[in-house]
């Protein structure tokens, strides 16, 4: 088995989720909108699955809308917030280290005349609430801040941002991309104080193709999709019952001690990697499952390919970069040689110390056989 250490990109589907999806596809396959018994049984199961996800998230099931992925949820939140506040202003605040799923729709709005303030991180990868306070304006309609950075593992001050918005008396909506935080770090939408929050199933051992959008009760947003009125009229289209079932099963199968176990493995990895000559720790990560290191002088894409040849899978950043330089690592102001050699390592419940040892041995082999640039 390869040493898979790229769980921030996607995770292996757990057996419970796979079984739930199979059952939904082969036995409980009715259309939830159909009025006959099989359809109504499917609708009841969707309601049960929504409640299961809501229990783990700590919110009312009615506040959850199923989506296809985190990108869809982020795009919806940005565009819906702009539409919601169109009569009040055209100013958006976000961070320079958000996922592209937030930055790209924000960029599209900027092309339509919106002004955007990008909060820059410090060297540790965290943004400042004081800078957010200073950036808030009367015409600010949206603040979008992720909970856990997907490349650094750093926690961002979302709850403090919510308080700053309230203290300023701002009507701006607060959106949080919590894709990397759900089930990894403790939070509820209410405690964070967010209006919208985005999740993705394939980051927590559910299949690709299912996500969740939290929308605070009482917040009336423009529907994402019009049609048959599914998902409370917010996202029309036949519900993906197999993916929904798998997501609920993955949530139920996530054990309470997983974050502590994953964190301990990450600390073992950082300790082991630190013994490699020249290796630098870029981010230890606040979240239990993500850290970043660098081998200055060794191009990260070369390292990723060489490690892959040895059966070790890591990345040079978000999978959405597709080999392009990471804007997240660039935002830290790292020296060029450090920046070019960055690797993201991310862990899941299935990882072992043997996976870490394979990574360390692989990097040792690569550096012993190649001359750095």
Q: Convert the pLDDT of each residue in 72-113 to its tens digit.
A: 999 999 999 999 999 999 999 999 999 999 999 999 999 999
pLDDT, tens only, 22-33: 999 999 999 999
- Label the pairing between strands 342-346 and 140-144: unpaired
Which of 347, 155, 346, 152 is closest to 261 using CA atoms?
347
Check residue 324 and give its pLDDT. Answer: 65
Concatenated DSSP letters of 43-71: HHHHHHHHHHHHHHHTS-GGGEEEES-HH
CA angle 33, 34, 35 (to 5 degrees): 115
Check residue 33 and give its pLDDT. Answer: 96
Which of 291, 295, 304 is closest to 262 using CA atoms?
291
Check residue 372 and give its pLDDT. Answer: 64
pLDDT band at 355 (very low <50, low <70, confident <90, very high): very high
Check residue 153 and give its pLDDT. Answer: 98
Percent of the chain's residues with pLDDT above 90: 95
Contact 219, 195 (CB under 8 A): yes
Q: Is 1's pLDDT higher than 90? A: no
Domains, the chain: 3-12+256-369 (3.90.1150.10), 15-253 (3.40.640.10)
Question: Partners of 293 in the beta sheet?
Answer: 281, 343
Contact 185, 149 (CB under 8 A): no
Which of 110, 50, 100 is closest to 75 using CA atoms?
100
pLDDT, tens only, 149-194: 999 999 999 999 999 999 999 999 999 999 999 999 999 999 999 9
DSSP 75: H
Catalytic residue ranges: 320
Which of 188, 136, 198, 206 is closest to 167 using CA atoms?
136
Return all residues near 85 (Cβ < 8 A) that are at least 6 apart: 141, 142, 171, 172, 173
Distance CA(8)–CA(226), nearest Å, equals 32
């Amino acid at each position: 088995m390869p040493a898979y250490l790229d769980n921030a990109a996607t995770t292996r589907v757990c057996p419970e989720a796979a079984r739930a999806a199979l059952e939904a596809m082969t036995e409980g396959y009715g259309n939830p909108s159909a009025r006959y018994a099989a359809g109504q049984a499917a609708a009841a199961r969707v309601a049960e699955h929504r409640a299961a996800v809501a229990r783990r998230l700590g919110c009312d099931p009615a506040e959850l809308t199923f989506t296809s992925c985190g990108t869809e949820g982020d795009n919806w939140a940005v565009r819906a917030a702009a539409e919601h506040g169109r009569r009040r202003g055209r100013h958006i605040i976000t961070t320079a280290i958000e996922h592209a799923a937030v930055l790209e729709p924000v960029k599209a709005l900027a092309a339509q005349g919106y002004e955007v303030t990008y909060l820059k991180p410090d060297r540790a990868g965290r943004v400042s609430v004081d800078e957010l306070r200073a950036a808030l304006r009367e015409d600010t309609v949206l603040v979008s801040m992720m909970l856990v950075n997907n490349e650094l593992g750093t926690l961002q001050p979302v709850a403090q941002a919510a308080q700053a918005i309230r203290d300023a008396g701002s009507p701006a909506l607060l959106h949080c991309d919590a894709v990397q935080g759900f089930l990894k770090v403790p939070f509820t939408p209410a405690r964070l104080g967010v209006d919208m929050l985005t999740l993705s199933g394939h980051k927590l051992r559910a299949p690709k193709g299912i996500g969740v959008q939290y929308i605070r009760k009482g917040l009336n947003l423009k529907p994402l999709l019009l049609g048959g009125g599914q998902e409370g009229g917010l996202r029309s289209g036949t519900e993906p019952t197999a993916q929904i079932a798998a997501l609920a099963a993955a949530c139920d199968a996530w054990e309470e001690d997983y974050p502590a176990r994953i964190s301990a493995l990450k600390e073992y990895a950082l300790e082991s990697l630190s013994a490699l000559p020249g290796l630098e720790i870029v981010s230890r990560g606040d979240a239990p499952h993500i850290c970043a290191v660098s081998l200055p002088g060794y191009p990260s894409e070369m390292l990723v390919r060489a490690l892959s040849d040895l059966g070790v899978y890591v990345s040079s950043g978000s999978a959405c970069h597709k080999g392009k330089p990471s804007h997240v690592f660039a935002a830290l102001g790292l020296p060029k040689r450090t920046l070019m050699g960055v690797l993201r390592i991310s862990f899941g419940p299935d990882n072992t110390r043997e996976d870490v040892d394979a990574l360390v041995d692989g990097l040792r082999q690569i550096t012993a056989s190649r001359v750095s640039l």
